Each structure stands twice: as C-alpha cells, then as structure tokens.
Copies of this chain bind each other. A is one copy, B any other.
Amino acid sequence: MTTLSKRLTNVPASPIRKLVPFATQAKKDGVKVYHLNIGDPDIKTPEVMLEALKEWDRNPIGYDQSQGNPTFLQSLLSYYHTLGFSFLETKHIQVTTGGSEAISMAMFATCNPSDEMIVFEPFYANYNSYAVVNGVTLVPILTTIEKGFHLPNRETIEKTITKKTKAILICTPNNPTGTVYTKKEMDMLVSIAKDHGLFLLSDEVYREFCYDGKSQVSLFSYMQEIPELAIVLDSLSKRYSLCGARLGCLVSRNEAVMAGVLRIAQGRLSSGLIDQVMAARLTDVPLSYTKDVQKEYQSRRDVLFAGLQNIPGMILPPKPEGAFYAIVGLPVADAEDFCTFLLTTFRDHNETVMLAPAAGFYGTKQYGKNEVRIAYVLNSDAIRRSVEILQKALEAYKKK
C-alpha cells in the first residue's frame, strides 16, 4: 500500500486555526465568539480600493505578469519612496500571493534542504509550516516575556551559528509579541549578518503599527550597506485591511535572488489580477487612513492591557510597542486546554472568546505552554467585553 510523504505529516496544524472546528460548532449553537485568535482586523479597507471593484471593466480576467501587475508595482515603489527608500526600483520588487508566499520564497532562495535559519521564539507560527514545506531547519533563540521579547545579546545569537546557518529571519514590529526592535538591535543583527555572511530576512508586515511615538527601524535603512544580504518581506494585508486580497512582496537588491524568485513566480504564473488592480490604488489612500488605524490600535492595546492587569495571576509583558498582538501568560498549566474550554464549555451570557494557544509560536517544545497570543483586532468595546469573559472563564476553569 502506498503512503503519504513523511514531510506532509510534519506540516503543523496552525495554532491560530486549529481550534476553528470548536468555534464553528459554538457559533452553530448560537454562541457569540469574540475572535482574538487571528490577525484579521475589523478596520475597514480603504473605500478608494473597493471602488476599483465597482468600476471593473476588464474582461476576460487574464493572467497578469509574473513579477506583478505593472501599475501595482509602481504603486508599491511609490509607497517605499514615500518612506524615504528612494534607491529602490521596481526590479527590486517581486509581488507575492500574500506575505506567506514572500516568506516561503525567501526560505527556498536562501536555504538548501536541511540548512538552518535562525529565528527568535516565540515567532509567527506559520514560519514552521513554510520551513517544513521548504525543508528548512528553524533554529529558535528564546526571547522572554520579562524582557518584552527583545533580543538577547550578540554572543547568544552568534553561538547558534553553524556551518549550516544561511539566514536570520526577524519580524518587526513582531507577530506574535508586538515587540519593535530598536536601532541598536537592528545594528547588531546587520553586523552579525555581515560578519558571518548570512542573509537577513525582515518580515515588516506591521511597519506602520508602532505606538507611543515610536517608529520602526526598517531593514530598508540597511539595504545599501548589505545589498546582497538584505531581503524585506512585506504584505498589504494589515496595512490596508486586505487580508483576503492575498498580496505581499519580496524586496531585495540581490539580483540573483530576484532572478530566482521570478522563476518561481513564473511557475505559478501570476498573483490575482483583481486584487492587484484594486490594491494599486494604495497611492490614493489618504495618509490620515494609516494614522487613524495606528491610533485605533494603540487605544485598543491600552484598553486590553488595562483590563488584563486586573485579572489575578496574569503574566504580562511590558506593553507591546507595535503590531496588534500580545503574548501573555495565563494562570493555567495548559493554555490549549483552556482555549478549548472557552470554545466548547464556557459561556457568559451565551458569549465566549477565541484565543490562540502560544505553544505553536515556539520552536522549542516545552515553551509557551501557559501562554496565549491575543490579537487586539476588535473594537474597544469588544475587547473590554472579551477581557471580562476571559476573567470569568479563568475563574470557572480553576473550579473545574
């Protein structure tokens, strides 16, 4: 009898989505579920983009160019120029089907099978999936709740480098921790990459979402210093509330990388035409849109943390500096069991909350068992109510 490939078995279930069947059942039973498990914002997509749908006049819906829709590429370029990275040209940009594809392509481009890529745990759980799909070994370095998930020192990082290490993958502002790496941290990473000849991959999907007057230090700022090593991974999903549009990009000045990922892109023909034509209008989105969204998330974060601080036994990091996630420790031994309890058993006025168990965001097995990732993607009232439900559920869970 034939068997599946072993590697298929190794693809992990998404910790963000694996409890979905329980949530679906709860909703079927008429229970209202507050979704704090997934970064799927309730913020509106800019109307100027949706107008592209109403005004649609192309027929047939043909393939677009493999590198990306030319107008969309120009829009992306103009966006990066506005950020001050005027050295970029369209040839440095490969449009991808979501940030997911950008990360996957970057892994394939930089690592041969069983080569190593350094990541800082907890990290975006889907990195695990892309690593299995691309046969890459992730080497996690621990960051801790106490230090706000900031990076360990240079020595700690350097001692994990082996002959098989090809790249360091970071995410700033960070999913799942909300941490924004400082200029000092970015300087250190760039220096390590340079000294050891490693690719530095920076997932900057949450670039605009920094709080308390802070701002992101982008790998783009170093792209002229390490043009061969720097690869930025980006997505429009969060910036414009376009998660369902599946659009991102991979940006690098390394010509061989760009030529290689274009060949991969040719194999899958093109990203979606309609999504790209719609998103090309990003240049028409007023600057106030992003500022308003940033303000909204900051105030949601404040509401969330004000609430969490009142729950006994919670282990909280310093307030996250960016993105719209927080990793928090719960007063339970097994957060996945508690998350399942929330969906299958606990109800408060027929409402409950969905959270993502954090263990799936760690590469090391024993870590994060008591932690959850909270995505503060709902409005402040919903967050307040979610925290209330969480507190009551913890009490009920203790008494079980």
Q: Which residues of B contact A4 (CB under 8 A)?
A: 109-110, 256-257, 260
Q: Which of A1-34 contact B (CB under 8 A)?
A: 1-2, 4-9, 11-14, 16-18, 20
A244 and B264: CB pair below 8 A?
A: no
A62 within 8 A of B: yes
A333 within 8 A of B: no
- Which A residues are within 8 Å of any B CB, using their own CB? 1-2, 4-9, 11-14, 16-18, 20, 38, 40-45, 47, 50, 53-54, 56, 59-66, 97-98, 100-101, 104, 108-113, 115, 126, 128-130, 133, 135, 166, 197-199, 228-229, 241-246, 256-257, 260-261, 263-264, 266-275, 278
With A11-B264, A61-B243, A129-B266 given, is the CB distance from A166 to B5 under 8 Å? yes
A245 and B274: CB pair below 8 A?
A: yes
B60 and A98: CB pair below 8 A?
A: no
Q: How far is the CA of A53 from the CA of B274 in the complex (A)?
A: 9
Residue from B56, B65, B108, B166 in contact with A133 in the complex, judged by beta carbons closer than 8 Å: B108
Q: Which residues of B contact A268 (CB under 8 A)?
A: 97-98, 100-101, 104, 126, 129
Q: Which residues of B contact A245 (CB under 8 A)?
A: 61, 272-274
Further 4 A-B residue pairs, CB within 8 A, beyond A40-B63, A63-B244: A1-B197, A2-B166, A8-B260, A20-B65
Q: Which residue of B lies closest to A274 (CB)?
A: B274
Residue from B14, B198, B269, B270 in contact with A2 in the complex, judged by beta carbons closer than 8 Å: B198
Total copies of this chain within the assembly: 2
Q: Which residues of B contact A228 (CB under 8 A)?
A: 1-2
B8 and A108: CB pair below 8 A?
A: yes
Q: How far is the CB of A5 from chain B (nearest CB, A)?
A: 5
Q: How far is the CA of A54 from the CA of B11 in the complex (A)?
A: 39
The 6 closest A-B pairs by CB, nearest first: A129-B267, A244-B273, A14-B266, A8-B260, A60-B241, A2-B197
Q: How far is the CA of A14 from the CA of B61 in the complex (A)?
A: 21
B199 and A2: CB pair below 8 A?
A: yes
Q: Which residue of B lies closest to A11 (CB)?
A: B263
Q: Which residues of B contact A261 (CB under 8 A)?
A: 8
Q: Which residues of B contact A271 (CB under 8 A)?
A: 246
With A5-B112, A108-B8, A129-B266 given, is the CB distance from A61 to B241 under 8 Å? yes
Q: What are 10 pairs between A and B in contact, CB < 8 Å?
A: A5-B111, A11-B267, A53-B56, A60-B241, A63-B243, A97-B97, A113-B135, A129-B267, A130-B267, A244-B272
Q: How far is the CA of A174 from the CA of B59 in the complex (A)?
A: 26
B54 and A243: CB pair below 8 A?
A: no
Q: How far is the CA of A18 from the CA of B263 in the complex (A)?
A: 9
A66 and B14: CB pair below 8 A?
A: yes
Q: How far is the CB of A266 from chain B (nearest CB, A)?
A: 4
Q: Which residues of B contact A256 (CB under 8 A)?
A: 4, 8
Q: How far is the CB of A371 from chain B (nearest CB, A)?
A: 20
With A5-B112, A267-B133 given, is the CB distance from A56 to B60 under 8 Å? no
Q: Which residue of B lies closest to A247 (CB)?
A: B272
Q: How far is the CA of A141 from the CA of B222 in the complex (A)?
A: 50
Q: Which residue of B lies closest to A256 (CB)?
A: B4
Q: How far is the CB of A285 from chain B (nearest CB, A)?
A: 13
Q: How far is the CA of A115 from the CA of B274 in the complex (A)?
A: 37
With A2-B198, A5-B115 given, is the CB distance from A266 to B13 under 8 Å? yes
